[in-house]
Amino acid sequence: MIQNHYNIILAKVQYWKKKFFIALRDGEIYVILIANEKRRAIMSDYNTNLCRFLDGGISPYHTVAQSAQFLEENGFSSLELGKPFEIKKGGKYYVQSGTFLAAFTVGSEADYFRIAASHTDWPCLRIKPQPEMLAGGCCKLSVENYGGGIFSSWLDRPLSLAGVVMLKADRPSKIDARLISWDQPLLTIPNLAIHMNREVNKGVPLKANVDMLPICRAVQDGFSKDGYLLSKIAEKLQVEKEEILSFELYVYCAEKAEYIGFEKDFISSPRLDNLSSVHATLDGLVKTSGKGINMAILFDNEEIGSNTRRGGDSMTLSVIMEKIALAIGMDRAAFLDACTNGMLLSCDAAHAAHPNHMEFADGAHAPLLNRGVSLKRSPRYSSVTETCAVIAALCDAHDIPLQTYMNRADLPGGGTVGSMASSILAMPAADVGVPILAMHSAREMMGSRDQEAFCRLCEAFFDE
């Protein structure tokens, strides 16, 4: 029994710490087992916090709200984007705007920027303004497709709604924004039975305006659909329906994050792309106090191209950075130097090698689950030779497992916010992330050992 346990430990300890591997090779089994238990406890803490974050981030608005709460619990103060920044060296601050957030610390030297950027959105369905439709004795809701999701993965699951509602305030130029969620399954999208769809297992196209309409209730004769959703929103917020000006509601998978596997080797969850990165960047920021200006940026709209005010392909980040620079006494030239002397870490999930479809992987450049962070390289990513070397050196210095991800030459992948933000700021950058399977599915899957490595990389990045 001890020998079997020892063999299992061997593989894991060799992966996590070189010194543990040497001790194990020398036969110091007792020391190895104690060290491994400590490592398991640390890994479990990272995963527990990640799963809690995933379960709470049920819309981009909720993701930003819980991020702001986490920052305040760690001593960060809130600033307003439309007002002068009152900041000082040694301070910790954040700026929040709906689905966008920028958090930063001001070090003792504050003459360069270290930025870790991620995004708060994911492929999903969004509810249209007048969504109610009746058919087959049911009320269903009209939706629009947001991003490039795998439609079939949303079928036959418990789904719900979350987002923001805009209410009337004292005068027209002011609005009262309220987060909303029901914290229970409200919707489902049933599959068409195989008896009516004999080709379903051969890959049948799904249309967002036909096949992806979620059902929300049964109806009887005399039911009036008009304004039904507004009435449920008003009931939830305890306001009059007439007070509602607009809303932005996301359909989300109502299932929780879970461990998978006999040895709990995997985490299956909605929204791993990209809340795993949001969690890692914030975790790294609050644990460090570097000499420069450290920033964690949560962009929105990455899944639809980033070309929005809250997206990575905008001037919003550079405006915030310049406001920081002016507030601590930098002139324009010093600010530009701080940009070019800085570095951007673009954090987004990577494609892991799929065990059932290894033909889509590029040999040695296909990351494996539970083997560490992926450094992403291709002309579409922001990583260049120099920044790849920096990441490799950081990981080597801190015993962080690192893999290289590249697409197969004939299968180009997606882009990230890194290239856009890097080109706007004239700042060197690198793309990193945890490898996952089923990217853009309603539920995705990652290795349970990888989030700790990712968080430690973000921490090391900010500390240098």
pLDDT band at 170 (very low <50, low <70, confident <90, very high): confident
Given pLDDT bands bounded at 50, 70 and 90, which one contains residue 380? Answer: confident
- Which pLDDT does position 69 carry in this prediction? 98
Average pLDDT of span 84-113: 96
Edge to edge, the sheet with strand 402-405 lists: 77-79, 92-97, 100-106, 293-299, 113-119, 343-347, 429-433, 373-376, 402-405
Q: What stretches of 253-384 show up as alpha helix (H) in DSSP? A: 272-286, 316-327, 332-340
**Does the pLDDT at position 361 exceed 90?**
no
Residue 156's Cβ-count burial label (10 Å; 0-12, 13-18, 19+) is exposed
Output the furthest CA–CA distance in the chain (Å, rounded): 79
- Confidence category of residue 9, pLDDT binned at 50, 70, 90: very low
CATH class of domain segment(s) 124-253 = mainly beta
Count the helix, strand and coil residues of the chain and give each as a percent rounded to the nearest 5: 35, 25, 40
On the question of pLDDT at 91 being above 90, the answer is: yes
Is the pLDDT at 426 greater than 80? The verdict is: yes
The pLDDT tens digits for 29-44 are: 444 444 455 667 777 8
Q: Which of 293, 274, 247 is nearest to 102 (CA)?
A: 293
Say what the pLDDT of residue 38 is: 61
- Asked whether residue 17 carries a pLDDT value surpassing 60, the answer given is no
Residue 15 binned pLDDT confidence (cut-offs 50, 70, 90): very low
- Tell me how far apart the alpha carbons of residues 153 and 82 are, in angstroms, rounded to a whole number: 41
d(CA 53, CA 275): 8
DSSP annotation string for 352-395: PPPTT-GGGS-GGGS--TTS-EEEE-STTSSB-HHHHHHHHHHH
CA distances from 323 to 189, 315, 318, 319, 357 (A): 46, 12, 9, 6, 48
- Which residue, 301, 149, 167, 187, is CA-closest to 239? 167
Token pair in block for residue 124: 């999903």
Q: Which CATH class is domain 57-122+271-463?
A: alpha beta
Q: Which residue has the tokens 């494609």?
A: 351
**Average pLDDT score over residue span 192-219:** 95
Over range 118-147, report the average pLDDT.
98
Tell me if 414 sits within 8 A of 100, measured CB to CB: no
Residue 296, beta-bridge partner list: 103, 116
**What is the reported pLDDT for 102?**
98
| Domain ranges, ordered by start, for the chain | 2-41, 57-122+271-463, 124-253
Mean predicted confidence (pLDDT) in 207-224 = 96
CA-CA distance, 28 to 152, in Å (whole number)?
51
Least confident range from 25-29, 59-63, 214-218, 295-299: namely: 25-29
Cα distances (angstroms) measured from residue 457 to each of 132, 297, 385: 47, 16, 18
Q: What's the whole-number mean pLDDT along residues 312-322?
A: 96
Residue 378 confidence class, pLDDT cut points 50, 70, 90: confident
Single-letter residue type at 48: T
Rounded to an integer, the average pLDDT of 111-127 is 98
pLDDT tens profile 57-75? 999 999 999 999 999 999 9
* pLDDT value at 19 more than 50: no
Specify the higher pLDDT residue, 448 or 17.
448
pLDDT on residue 11 = 44
412-437 burial, b for 16+ CB within 10 Å, e for fewer?
A: ebebbbbbbbbebbebbbbbbbbbbb
Q: What pLDDT does 411 receive? A: 80
pLDDT score of 36: 58
Average confidence score pLDDT of the chain: 91
